[in-house]
Homo-oligomer: A and B are copies of this chain.
Amino acid sequence: MFKELPPNYRPLEESTVIDYVRSQADRLNGVFRTGEPLEAVEVGDGNLNLVFKIWAQDDPERTVVIKQALPYVRLVGESWPMPADRARIEAQALDVEYRYCPQHTPRVYYFDPEMYLIVMQNLNHHIVMRKGLIQGIKYPHFAEHIGVFLAKTLGMTSDLVLDYRTKKEEVARFINPELCKITEDLVFTEPYRKTERNAYHKEIEPQVLAFQADEALHVEMAKMKEKFMTHAQALIHGDLHTGSIMVNETETFVIDPEFAFYGPMGFDIGAVIGNLFLSYASHEVRSPDPEKRADFRRYLTDTVIDLWHVFEREFQAIWDQVDPMDMPKGYQEDYMLRVLHDTAGMGAAKMMRRIIGLAGVEDIRGIEDVEERSIAASLALNIGRALLLEREQMRTIEDLVEVATACKPTYPWTD
């Protein structure tokens, strides 16, 4: 079914990873000294891979991360095989992202094609953005950073910049069927039908069933799925939720592009915005203080607006490279508007799947109080539905935010 595993492939363990690192020390630009004592811990909390942190015993700042692909979905086990070759895709995508946006891409020391692993920078002064947002931490530079990352990585890998041959060869190099299939099923299909893998909390079932019976929603979601499957616009990250972003006060890094392929730009931008609105929905209930709630939610909507404006500003540098006779101003405006509409629709898909589908997010599913969790989930669903169905009326990012902030939770049910 998949490419066979290389003969030397073996999953690492905490007990073997240090020997592995020692054997490759000359590829690490001198991070570790020959023979010095190292320590390692396995920290993978994702669904698919092993992740090890390795550091020098006498200086934890000299450290690397190893991410190794398993030939199956870790969350489920060997019954769900998954090609370890995705590590190659991830390494190649990191390479492209680093080329265009090194300040927001972890540094890769090397990719080991025999072991399907990547040795890279340990972002040990950063936390997963989702966790920060749950704690109500504001990241003042995030909008600027992610807007730049999106414009550079999407714009520079599109037909607007790449020559005709490179673009098409890159499409072929990033063909990524199995990982795309996960998205096709879990994001675009299963939430809208009764399936065993959906994992919503029982309390919001009435709204889930209403969504699953909603013909207009099915039609628009089918269009978004088609676009995901056919629109080879740019090399997209493919999984750019707030769990794939590492942040602190001053820095932002995007990690984990194993889902990368040539797809619609709006899928990445929508992933960021959709996840900010998931946080927004969760902060409907997260603090007992209404002013604090409103303040954090304003931070989130301001971030959505700001990151789009940064994206537009940085994308202008791309437009400045193209021939205005082939791509006149009116075309450029139409292009950006279509990216905005895709962003809304894709963001909507990313939100709703997190409430209804297999893979939830801690922002919402982690709320312990059933009432509060249901209010947040219901609000997230309604924002998703509105962003999807009203996307083509939007002209600006402010319109998008207005559509989202006009939504209310349906829960508690009145009938």
Contact = CB atoms under 8 A, between A and B. Distances in A.
A330 interface: yes
Given A165-B178, A219-B328, A230 B229 contact: no
A231 B262 CA distance: 11
A330 B325 CA distance: 37
B219 A189 contact: no
Nearest to A166: B177
A111 B141 CA distance: 58
A180 interface: yes
Interface in A108-127: none
A154 B309 CA distance: 39
A326 to B, nearest CB: 6
The size bracket of the interface on A is 35 or more
Contact of A177 (B169, B189, B326, B328): B169
Contacts of A223: 331, 334
A215 B330 contact: yes
Contacts of A335: 226
Given A164-B181, A168-B177, A328 B222 contact: yes
A271 B391 CA distance: 32
Contacts of A169: 175, 177
Given A175-B171, A233-B230, A218 B165 contact: no
Interface in A323-359: 325-328, 330-331, 334-335
Interface string A221-246: 01101100111110000000000000
Contacts of A184: 164
A310 B25 CA distance: 66
B159 A229 contact: yes
A193 interface: yes
Given A164-B181, A219-B328, 17 more contacts: A164-B229, A165-B177, A167-B229, A168-B175, A168-B176, A168-B177, A169-B175, A171-B172, A172-B172, A172-B175, A192-B326, A219-B330, A219-B334, A222-B326, A222-B331, A223-B334, A226-B335
Interface of A: 159, 164-165, 167-169, 171-172, 175-178, 180-181, 184, 189, 192-193, 215-216, 218-219, 222-223, 225-226, 229-233, 325-328, 330-331, 334-335
